[in-house]
Amino acid sequence: MAKSRGLITDTEQDRISGEADVADSKRYQAVSRVRRRIREQLPEEIEMLEEHHPDLLEELREVVCEEIAEGEDE
């Protein structure tokens, strides 16, 4: 089964992580696209889940909040 895109595309992941040998401008563009998704698209998707599938929204919160909590322990 093919891997579907999450918040970040494979190309953006390579550019942001530094694995891709690209100009800084390409890295900045990748960060900008991800930031735009976080600020513009994600809130709309959260609202849709809240209204139509709250269980999925709860799963999303668990994953995001778990990652944040683990990061605070370090």
Whether pLDDT at 3 is above 80: no
The number of distinct structural domains making up the chain is 1
**Is residue 45 assigned to a domain?**
yes
Q: Which domain holds residue 21?
A: 10-73
Digit-coded pLDDT (tens) for 9-35: 999 999 999 999 999 999 999 999 999
Q: What is the pLDDT of residue 73?
A: 62
pTM of the model: 0.77
**Is residue 29 assigned to a domain?**
yes
Digit-coded pLDDT (tens) for 29-71: 999 999 999 999 999 999 999 999 999 999 999 998 986 777 6
HEC string of the chain equals CCCCCCCCCHHHHHHHHCCCCCCHHHHHHHHHHHHHHHHHHHHHHHHHHHHHCHHHHHHHHHHHHHHHHHHHHC
**Is residue 36 assigned to a domain?**
yes
